[in-house]
Amino acid sequence: YDFPQWKFSLYFLETPKPESISKLPTTVGTLESEKYIWTMPDNYLELTHSWDDPADWKANNGNEEPHRGFGHIAFHIESDDLEASCEALQKEGVHFRKLPSQGRMHDVAFATDPDGYWIEVLARTKGGAALHGTSLAQTMLRVVDAE
């Protein structure tokens, strides 16, 4: 959705349940699709694109001193082989800060988006919740002196 008067766009990333897919609106910009956007029943991620970003703009990803705050978002993927899934993502051009074979934690990977924000990638635990496909798992924030 574009908001030209404020020079930004909103994008929504949702993984609908299989039984919901046939009920999804098919035409963007209709009253039906707008109602769905604002009443989505499942987890979703809202992304904002500011149109006036200068060419030399650099995101503060929240993982660099002295401005540590936002950590990352995480997604569960439907896979028995996290390493193979990461290799497939690399072939599609995804950059990784950490692969499952690196470091002490072998059940997690960290990719980055084009602005440098971290994205944790986890394989769904065998025998875990019966969720479908890829789904938003968590958001990690650092809080100092929460009181």
Active centre residues (catalytic) = 120
Contact between 42 and 17 (Cβ < 8 Å) = yes
- Residues 112 and 98: their CA atoms lie apart, in Å, by 10
- Residues 73 and 94: their CA atoms lie apart, in Å, by 16
Phi, psi of 5 (to 5 degrees): -65, -25
Question: CA quadruple 32, 33, 37, 43: dihedral positive or negative?
Answer: positive
Segments of the chain assigned E as strands: 2-3, 8-14, 44-50, 70-77, 95-98, 108-112, 118-123, 135-141
